[in-house]
Amino acid sequence: MTVRVLLVCLGNICRSPTAHGVFQQRLIEQGLQQQVEVDSAGTAAWHVGRSPDPRSIAAAAKQGYDLSELRARQVQRQDFDHYDYVLAMDSSNLADLQALCPDNYGGELSLFLRYSTGLGNRQGADDSLQVPDPYYGDGDGFLRVITLVEQASDGLLSHIISKHALKA
């Protein structure tokens, strides 16, 4: 059995490729690459075919993650046929995905940070569940993205391992 995860932001050049690279690294570390599949996509088509933003690649590389081989693509309605988890970086991305999602989708469409180990008691669609878009900001935003997606990757992987009874 393969559990399939799609991580989604707006452009698929900053947040979701960072989440993709971090989650993929966790799968490799735990020997789960055959059992869990991950991809990322954007709700917008602006950057289709491009590498991640050089600032995302550089920030990730500093923390030991290689994003350089990833290429942007746009999310499609058919993705809901394939993926068990479709997880958005912010509430705007989630609203776009909800509009695209077939009514009978049997998987989990949610915010990525709902799985975060760093969430504590905070709940609801408040700021703590958003991965802030770093595209127009300063360099710190890119490092912040990494911290947030590391916490969510750890939480999501624990959830998947226990829910689907996976063994490394």
Closer Cβ to ligand 4NP, 32 or 38, answer by number: 38
> Residue 16, Cα to own-chain centre: how many angstroms?
5
Q: Annotated active-site positions, please?
A: 9, 15, 133
Closer Cβ to ligand 4NP, 30 or 74, answer by number: 74
* Selected binder of ligand 4NP within 10, 22, 38, 94 (CB under 6 A): 10
* Selected binder of ligand 4NP within 25, 135, 161, 166 (CB under 6 A): 135
Please, what is the minimum distance in Å from the beta carbon of residue 138 to ligand 4NP?
14
Closer Cβ to ligand 4NP, 141 or 160, answer by number: 141
Number of residues that bind ligand 4NP (CB under 6 A): 11
- The answer to whether residues 113 and 9 touch, using CB atoms and an 8 Å cutoff, is no
| Cα–Cα distances in angstroms (integers) from residue 71 to residues 20, 21, 57, 107, in the given order | 11, 12, 12, 25
Angstrom distance (rounded) from CA 121 to CA 151: 15
Per-residue contact string for residues 88-127; x = within reach of ligand 4NP by CB under 6 A: ----------------------------------------
Judged by CB under 6 A, does residue 129 bind ligand 4NP? no
Question: Footprint of ligand 4NP on this chain (CB under 6 A)?
Answer: 9-15, 42, 46, 133, 135
